[in-house]
Each structure stands twice: as C-alpha cells, then as structure tokens.
Amino acid sequence: MRKSDVTCPHCQAGYRRIELTSKGGVAGEFRCLVCHHTIELMDGSTDVAFRLTVQPGQAVLRLLGAFSSEVAAGSREENAPKLKAQRVFERSGCRFTSGRS
C-alpha cells in the first residue's frame, strides 16, 4: 500500500491518494470534485482511492470572481448557463461547475 498527497493543478484542492498494489482496480479517470479537472488516468493494474482532504479557499474565490465578471460583461440570455453554475457553487460552497449542460 502506498499513500501520497495530490493537489489539483487547477483549483488547488488537496487529496489523499491510496494505492493498493496487491489488488487490481478499475481502469478510468479521477476528476477533481471541486472543478472537475482530470487528476489522474488509471489503467486498472492497481486499486486507487482518493479522498478530498483540503478544500480550496482563496483559489476558488478568485476563480469565482473572474467568473462573475464574465457574467456581468455579457447579456443575461447568453450567460444563463454561467449564472446557473454560479448559483450551484454558492449553494454548495465546495462544488464549481463550468456551466456546460
């Protein structure tokens, strides 16, 4: 068993990564729970688990701030998906969606 810490390069969320080399896993990918950025592609040769340990603070707030100025700059209809994503983020406090539906 190997333990390591992983940080999302996009939003700085921190994860504990545990890899069981004695057990085969499932091929796939792990995406950040906060910004949905791909953290790791897994081939299934080992079992890998991730746990969110550090929620991003100022990094996500800066992201949201840039996001809000984009929304204010455009028309309401054009930015409806962005506004929806912002509402989801504000309600949950820990999940940021890109507005892609």
| Domains: count for the chain | 2
Residues 38 and 66 in one domain: no
Contact status, residue 11 vs residue 34, Cβ threshold 8 Å: yes
Q: Domain residues for 49? A: 2-54
pLDDT of residue 12: 85
Percent of the chain predicted with pLDDT > 70? 56
Q: What element of type H or E holds 34? A: none
> Hunting for tokens 């840039």 — which residue is that?
66
pLDDT digits (tens, 9 = 90+) for 3-18: 999 999 888 889 999 9
Residues 47 and 66 in one domain: no
Alpha-carbon distance of 45 to 32, in angstroms, equals 21
pLDDT digits (tens, 9 = 90+) for 16-38: 999 998 988 889 999 998 888 99
Residues 47 and 62 in one domain: no
- Name which residue leads in pLDDT, 97 or 57: 57
- Name which residue leads in pLDDT, 71 or 44: 44
Residues 47 and 63 in one domain: no
> In the chain, what is the straight-line distance between the N-terminal and C-terminal CA atoms, in Å?
38
92's CB contacts (< 8 A; 6+ apart) are none
Residues 9 and 25 in one domain: yes
Domain-located, residue 101: no
